Amino acid sequence: MKSRTSVYLLFIIFLALSLSAIEGYDVLAKFTGDYFKKFYVTQIVVFGCWENHISVEFSKSIMLNTHSKLMYVNINDNLNLDKLLKVDYWSLGIVLDLDCQRSHIIFNQFSEQNLRHNESYFWLMPTSKEKIPDYFHKLPLNIANEMTLAVRKNNNLQNSGNETNNNNISYILYDVYNPSYRHGGKLNVTYMGHWSLNDRDEGTLTISLTQYKYKRRGNLYGLVLNASIVVDHPPVPDYNTYIHNPINPHLDTMHRYNYALTLQLRDYYNFTMNLKRGSTWGYLINGTFNGIIGDMMKGLVDFGATPFQYKPERLDAIEYTVQAWMARPCFIFRHPTTNELSNPFLKPFEMKVWYVIGIFAAVNWIFLYTSVKLEHKLVMKQPVCTLDTYPASEIIMITTSAICQQGLSDGPRFYAGRIVFIFLFIWGFLLYQFYSASIVGSLLAGKPRWINTLQDLADSNLEVGIEDIAYNYDFFATTTDPVAQQLYREKVAVNKKRKREPYYTIEEGLQRMQKGGFAFHVDVATAYKIIEETFDVNEICDLVEIQLFPPKHTATATARFSPFKKMVTYGLRQVVEHGMARRLRNVWMHRKPECPESHKDDPVPIMITEFSPALFLMSCGWFVSMCIVIGEKLAMKKQEIGEMKDGDADAKGYEDPEDFDRETASTNSQTSRKSG
């Protein structure tokens, strides 16, 4: 009887303890549901060492009260965490019971399987111990991780009736992170808030850390971060002075400006910058990135002090943050004063108009010629002027005179011909007014600009030069723009006449551009200062800019999956929004040289190349007239010789002049033999 009573008593004690444990975990379930609901996490994985009935009740409570999806996993060796914690959504909640003796196994396997502590995982770690485990100091945590330590207080206290009162159970919450364990950072545990049950058995969660995460974690306590910068020009007087001060600000402008921004970021977060000098930005060569991007992928560099332009192949290698600089390389050249592709004397009219003028002049010639011929046929009088003797050529002279606003002494006598003559001169007068007004107007107007697009530049006779910098080589190697490809083939690529590609230093390229007839592709941030200091007003006013490619937005970048991405983004946003970026831009970016407004009022001189078609036309007239004069002279000489022969033949009685020629030739030959 006593043994049966003892068994009943043990059963009752075991049942009471079990119910007490279940009720305790039921409180944990309420706390867990409230916590993840606060952070909008609906996918939860629980790691523990609980009995099956406890894990079932825990899971059931959370899924019914919060409508979350939950999976319970017993802590053991060889868990496939990569599969269990695979995130196809924004965030995943992880509950790890630190009271389990083997809880550290989860962290070990998490690191061994190369999973990252980042914002994708929200860790909640309940425990009844007051002290955080020592192994937390060696966890590879970083500034981005979300990890909360929940310390249970007043667990299962008894009320006055010796009954368990779950309302006395509460959790004290601590925010746990390390600025960067990899860089020698120290573990930081900060009070975060608390959770408790009220009289109505409802949980109350109070979070005191309301600041943005990267603002409240803004002090990195001098943590050393690695950065890299590209410098394309020799630093003067020394490297450290060159990158910190606006000495020759037109050189390496983009790099030094962005480095000045990162110095503001350094002061904002209180970290130490270990700056190294990179060889180039980083381009994909044979499947591998070189330069700064290559160093980022190797883990040698955390972020770039040099900004990076957006390129598709870089999206899998780096993380872009804030864009604060726009690079604007373009072709700059002195626009030619004359267009060698067209005759300036033909400019006032289109070619169609010139064709119509020629046709109309021919029609006038036909009418006047017909009028003069009818006049001769009907009047039947003797010729008194050249219009009567040579009507065709004289009418050509009349038509030409009408067009050129000149006059002739001869004219038709019939009324029909006179009417045609009058309207011919009226037409010539109107034509001359339009032509001369167009010429004068073009001289009074501003200088014409007919090279306005990249296609115009490719079709012009200007030489082309390219700044010797990495992104220009990369652009021509990867571009699919047909106009840019045409420009490269015709003006950049090596051929029989061009022994090397025209890549020049900034100084050499701008000097060639200053002489004219040369277009140089250079970043305006570099060119403007040199142009303003070395070009005169006329040369500045002749300058034209044409984009080879659109302006490039550049941004500070971090390594792929870097925990510092959002930290850098937030810090640089603060720097930009507080006006520091604009101030630094005014320091490093030189203003565009301006052409004075009064320069437009200066007269446009006529160059010899513009006037050369008139000289060429006059020279052609001289040449033709000289040829005709020589021909006429030869014809007259031949005619005189013929007349002399006819006279000698008549004097000697020869009927045929050829007989006289044969006799004269034989006499001359005999005389030559005797003299020999």
Q: Residue 427 is part of a domain; what is its CATH number?
A: 1.10.287
Q: For the segment 397-412, what is each residue's pLDDT rounded down to a tens digit?
A: 677 666 666 666 666 6
Cα separations (Å) of 215 from 210, 302, 313, 412, 572? 10, 20, 32, 100, 12
Name the 3-class secondary structure at 548. coil
Mean pLDDT of the chain: 83
Of 293, 325, 357, the domain-final residue: 325
Residue 635 within a domain: no
Q: What was the pLDDT predicted at 601?
A: 60
Q: How far apart are CA 536 and CA 585, in angstroms?
A: 26
Q: For the segment 42-59, what is each residue's pLDDT rounded down to a tens digit?
A: 899 999 999 888 888 898
Question: What ranges make up the beta strands (E) of 572-646?
Answer: none
Name the 3-class secondary structure at 652. helix
Q: What was the pLDDT predicted at 140?
A: 94
One domain, residues 99 and 181: yes
One domain, residues 52 and 200: yes
Domain count, the chain: 4
Which pair of tokens denotes residue 627?
């040829």
Backbone angles phi and psi of 152, in degrees to 5: -80, 135
Cα separations (Å) of 486 from 5, 245, 489, 541? 102, 41, 5, 28
Domain hosting 417: range is 344-444
Of 401, 428, 444, the domain-final residue: 444
Can you tell me the mean pLDDT for 363-389?
A: 67
Other C-beta atoms lying within 10 Å of the C-beta of residue 289: 21
Cα separations (Å) of 631 from 576, 638, 650? 85, 11, 29
Q: What was the pLDDT predicted at 294?
A: 94
Q: How many CA atoms lie within 13 A of 173 on its CB side?
A: 21
With a pLDDT cut of 70, the percent of the chain lying above it is 78
Q: What is the pTM of this model?
A: 0.73
Q: What was the pLDDT predicted at 13?
A: 44
One domain, residues 430 and 474: no
Q: How far apart are CA 396 and CA 373, in angstroms?
A: 15
One domain, residues 514 and 496: yes
Can you tell me the mean pLDDT for 135-144?
A: 94
Q: What was the pLDDT predicted at 197?
A: 85
One domain, residues 49 and 186: yes
Q: What was the pLDDT predicted at 91?
A: 86
One domain, residues 21 and 130: yes
Secondary element (H or E) of residue 311: none
Question: Which has more confidence, 200 or 673?
Answer: 200
One domain, residues 92 and 66: yes
Query: Which amino acid would we find at residue 305?
Result: A
Question: Which has more confidence, 366 or 579?
Answer: 579
